[in-house]
């Protein structure tokens, strides 16, 4: 029996994102995100129950500010004391794992899917998903973009507006587009 598009996505194979099962999963995420984003700050807490139930895992003290957007939610894993600032977008067609104590500034974007380079296959929704791993105590500056397949080591700093296309070793600061290491002062 052939694999479903969801199974292909989970296996890291090429899959068609224009699929009924995946569309239902994205709709469930939209509903949970809508509730989170429209709940009054005094009532929201760290993460609203609907969004928390959708996530793959989250420590009790992980916090997601509103507004927030994710594609599926179920592939997001947040360690202790993770802070996600306002306006972040996670296209989590693969796992996004963020280690304890890491902080993401406003409007950080994490993109796991990569569309096909062939225009006819791209038109049909063919894409592949690559995971993102962010270590512990990482600081990601506002407006940074992290592409799929990237691993960021513990204690790294991603400068505001950086576009991270390659792995970042532990204890390294990167800035720019594409992100490149600089020496810390």
Active-site residues, by number, are 115
3 state SS of 32 = helix
Query: For residues 132 and 96, is the Cβ–Cβ distance under 8 A?
Result: yes
Q: Which long-range contacts (CB under 8 A, 24 or more apart) does 109-114 make?
A: 109/144, 109/145, 109/146, 110/145, 110/146, 111/145, 111/146, 111/147, 111/148, 112/75, 112/148, 113/17, 113/71, 113/148, 114/147, 114/148
Contact of 117 with 95, CB cutoff 8 Å: no
Q: Which residues pair with 158 in a beta bridge?
A: 140, 174
Q: Measuring CA to CA, which residue among 159, 157, 150, 160 is closest to residue 172?
A: 157
Query: Which of the 8 DSSP states describes residue 168?
Result: B
């Amino acid at each position: 029996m052939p694999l479903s598009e969801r199974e292909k996505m989970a296996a890291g194979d090429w899959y068609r994102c224009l699929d009924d099962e995946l569309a239902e999963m994205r709709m469930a995420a939209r509903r949970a995100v809508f509730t989170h984003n429209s709940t009054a700050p005094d009532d929201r807490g760290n993460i609203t129950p609907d969004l928390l139930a959708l996530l793959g895992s989250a420590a009790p003290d992980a916090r997601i500010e509103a507004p927030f957007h994710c594609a599926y939610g179920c592939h997001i894993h947040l360690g202790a004391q993770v802070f996600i600032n306002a306006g972040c977008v996670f296209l989590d067609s693969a796992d996004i794992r963020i280690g304890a104590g890491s902080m993401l500034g406003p409007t950080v974007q994490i993109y796991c899917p990569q569309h096909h380079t062939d225009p006819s296959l791209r038109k049909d929704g063919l894409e592949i998903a690559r995971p993102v791993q962010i270590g512990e105590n990482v600081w990601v500056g506002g407006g940074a973009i992290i592409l799929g397949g990237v691993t960021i080591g513990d204690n790294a700093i991603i400068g505001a507006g950086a576009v991270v296309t390659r792995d970042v070793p532990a204890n390294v600061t990167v800035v720019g587009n594409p992100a490149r290491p600089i020496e810390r002062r």
